Amino acid sequence: MTNIEIIQELYRCFREKDDDGFRAICSDDLEWIQNLGFPYGRCRKGAEAVIETVFKGNMREWEDFSYDISQFLDAGSTIVVIGSYAGIHHSTKKQMQAAAAHVYDLRGGKVCRFRMFADTKSMWDAMS
């Protein structure tokens, strides 16, 4: 698979809740960095931490949570994905949409680092 195909597979794993597929395309030393302004944003280490605290956490916090992709940018061992988050907060029932960029670094055909940059104001507005 090309690096873009690997990242497309990562999004498929997220959409279909395929945790084993996600584990298979991540390196053992995966770093998952969400910007600090993001709800629960911080750095997590390893695929298990991402599955439990990020993927499952998003599902606990939001209904119909998604990342809608508008563009993939190929920079060799780095793939940038431009898009936006969408969802409805479970408690407040408010909708949100937030522009975001995801930056993935790959090594040896595996995702070794994720960095997220998001406009989080609409998320916090929906949560309050």
- Tens of pLDDT, residue by residue over 8-61, are 999 999 999 999 999 999 999 999 999 888 877 899 999 999 999 998 888 888
Which residue range(s) make up the domain with 58?
3-127
Supply the pLDDT for residue 57: 86
Tens of pLDDT, residues 84-125: 999 999 999 999 999 999 999 999 999 999 999 999 899 999
* Residue with the two structure tokens 């931490």: 49
Q: Hey, is 73 helix, strand or coil?
A: strand
Domain count for the chain: 1
Query: Which DSSP letter does residue 1 get?
Result: -
Only one residue has tokens 């809740």, namely 17
Which CATH number fits the domain that encloses residue 8?
Answer: 3.10.450.50
E strands present in 9-61: 26-34, 43-45
